Structure 1
């Protein structure tokens, strides 16, 4: 059976990449490239009609960040894709911050979480990222679930597989996190 079709091919290639195997890193990228592009596309949906970064560029930037220097020890493909999603989110937020700093009066706006979920502007994306960072300091699990669901585009079942929590718990965590984020962004 060719390596690319083994059930644990990504996990095996991650381990070999961590040990410095450049050929394994190349095969890994070839194997997951399509999935990374799909993940990047999910992140880019809210960027409006003219996104500041193209999907391919986001994938390549994320790859460079993930594999430059010390390669993290991802135990499996789920952790790898979760990490990739986080890196993509940070890249988009950094780009939004840069665009805000270039605009006149780049003050942050107070916006509703429901509006941000539809089509975030730069200031809204930055406000949401700041709120998520504060939530992560208080309750990392809730923050991780929100990132996986709304930035990573994972389904409830996929989040259950990653976190080993029940669907009812995931729904409860999302509801609580959304309420907390709403308060953090909107204020009292």
Structure 2
């Protein structure tokens, strides 16, 4: 996320003011980063996932364009919202496939930095994040930014307007909490 053109923040502000030209200029600037996020998400999915990165980006873009009540703070905020939308799209897709097949739940592979186990059910992860959000909304947001968006400690600190040491501490606690929650019988 560090190689993104700094003009994105200005274009987001212009978009908010209703400037359609800003939206048209913004799309090519954010498209590659959105594709990177989509590929990152899809790498964590089971290999036989039906969605492709382009489909995921397109669906997220359509949802982003409908965001008329969002006040874009900066590019990190924009990509954070985009990543949340991608997560919701994948979750909806997982639930729909699960309901259609009535078979085993779709799994999402988590990197070992988050969990010691290689895979976790996407629906279970969403439930865990909802529970964590109820208990500690800031930790849940940090998980979204670090794991789903792929932000580093400093980027997450910037978005949440917290110190890097606070993000590191909360990140460690959130990972431990999620591990316990997802591994309880």
Q: TM-score, normalised by structure 2?
A: 0.84
CA contact (8 A) 1:18 1:71 kept: no
Gaps of 5+ in 2: none
> Out of 137, 147, 158, which is 2:134 matched to?
137
Counterparts of 1:70 and 1:162, CA distance in 2: 20
Partner of residue 103, structure 1: 101
Counterparts of 1:69 and 1:162, CA distance in 2: 19
Partner of residue 172, structure 1: 169
Relative to structure 1, the CA distance from residue 104 to residue 176 in structure 2 (aligned partners, 3 Å threshold; closer, same or farther) is same
What does the per-residue CA deviation read over 1:77-134, in whole Å, with 9 as the maximum and x for residues that have no partner? 111111111111111111111111112345799xx9432xx444xxx01100111011
Instruction: Give 1:187 shift.
Output: 2.4
Greater helix fraction, Structure 1 or Structure 2: 1
Partner of residue 74, structure 1: 72
Counterparts of 1:36 and 1:127, CA distance in 2: 25
Counterparts of 1:160 and 1:108, CA distance in 2: 32
Partner of residue 47, structure 1: 45
Q: CA RMSD in A?
A: 2.4
Partner of residue 88, structure 1: 86
Partner of residue 181, structure 2: 184
The 5 Å alignment of 1:122-161 reads: 124-161=121-158
Counterparts of 1:103 and 1:114, CA distance in 2: 29
* Larger Rg over CA atoms: 1
